[in-house]
């Protein structure tokens, strides 16, 4: 029979369960989704399917537990277990090789979500990764701190408060550029071939994701910069105001995406 070396976390659960069982026989939880039966001689009986599952878990992730313990034991500086585990989770998603797929901690998710509510606190610019692994300013909101500081679309972000970021660290860079209104952030850009450092005071930024106009040729033009809360409502308003036009152009160029539900609701406006 193949021996399964359970992680320290799993073993702790078994020991505590055995101590608290208070009887010769007791059910214990070994791992999420796995229930064992504690025998009078201290052994644990589980189903064959659960055993096979634990073997697969050990084969796939046991080395991570061993590596973490090796780092904690041998690394010359104290390490944070939480930081190691978060990095491992991020690395698992990074393994997809997809710049649009990321793992967020609860705090990071909260920050990212704020930018999809139609208003947030920051400097007022939309960023996107480039094909060569850098971060580019895609759009600067009118009246924002970024616009007042002279930031332009297509500027390349080199560093934030002295820390350099690459394209695959876009979310982390954005998190550090955002912040409470009234605080400052210093960003170094590559603008028109020159390095320029700009210090901006963060403020509350209202995000306008939809712009529209009736052109002189009778064609209505709708530009959607990204899909956030109320984007579909704004598109519906644009369509209503452009009813008299003989045709519509819906411009999605440089749109990085956003809320899936809003994108679906927007598409439904143009489909029977």
Q: Tens digits of per-residue pLDDT, 34-80?
A: 666 667 777 777 778 877 777 777 777 778 888 888 888 888 998 88
The whole-model pTM stands at: 0.52
Crossing angle, helix 170-177 and helix 106-114, to 10 degrees? 70
pLDDT cut 70: percent of the chain above it: 82
**How, if at all, do strands 203-206 and 210-214 pair?**
unpaired
The helix/strand/coil state of 80 is coil
User: Does residue 187 carry a pLDDT above 90?
Assistant: yes
Q: Which has the closest alpha carbon to 115: 144, 72, 92, 91? A: 144
Question: How many Cα neighbours within 13 Å face the side chain of 14?
Answer: 19
pLDDT cut 90: percent of the chain above it: 34
Residue 231 has phi, psi (to 5 degrees) of -60, -45
Residue 16 has phi, psi (to 5 degrees) of -60, -45
The lowest-confidence range among 105-114, 163-172, 225-234, 255-264 is 105-114
Q: Measure the CA–CA gap between 4 and 49, rounded to whole angstroms.
A: 14
pLDDT band at residue 228, thresholds of 50, 70 and 90?
confident
What does the chain come to in residues?
A: 272
User: Does residue 17 carry a pLDDT above 60?
Assistant: no
Q: Residue 235: is it exposed, middle or buried by C-beta count within 10 angstroms (0-12/13-18/19+)?
A: buried
Residue 181 has phi, psi (to 5 degrees) of -55, 135
Structure tokens at 58: 């050990």
């Amino acid at each position: 029979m193949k021996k399964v070396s359970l992680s320290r976390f799993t073993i702790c659960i078994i020991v505590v369960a055995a101590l608290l069982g208070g009887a010769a026989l007791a059910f214990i939880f070994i791992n999420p989704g796995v229930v064992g039966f504690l025998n009078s001689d201290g052994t644990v009986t589980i189903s064959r399917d659960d055993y096979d599952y634990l073997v697969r878990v050990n084969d796939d992730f046991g080395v991570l537990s061993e590596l973490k313990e090796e780092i904690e034991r041998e690394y010359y500086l104290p390490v944070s277990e939480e930081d190691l585990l978060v990095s491992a989770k991020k690395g698992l998603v990074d393994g997809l090789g997809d710049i649009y797929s990321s793992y967020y901690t609860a705090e990071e998710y909260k920050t990212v979500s704020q930018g999809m509510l139609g208003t947030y606190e920051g400097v007022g610019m939309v960023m996107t990764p480039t094909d060569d692994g850098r971060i580019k300013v895609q759009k600067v909101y009118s009246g924002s701190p970024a616009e007042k500081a002279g930031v332009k679309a297509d500027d390349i972000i080199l560093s934030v408060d002295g820390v350099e970021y690459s394209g695959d660290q876009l979310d982390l860079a954005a998190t550090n550029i955002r912040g409470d209104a009234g605080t400052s952030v210093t960003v170094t850009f590559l603008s028109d071939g020159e390095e320029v450092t700009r210090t901006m005071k963060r403020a509350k930024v209202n995000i306008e994701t939809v712009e529209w106009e009736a052109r002189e040729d009778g064609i209505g033009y709708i530009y959607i910069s990204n899909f956030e809360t109320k984007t579909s409502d704004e598109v519906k308003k644009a369509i209503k105001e452009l009813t008299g036009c003989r045709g519509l152009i819906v411009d999605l160029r440089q749109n990085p995406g956003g809320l899936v539900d809003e994108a679906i609701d927007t598409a439904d406006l143009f489909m029977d």
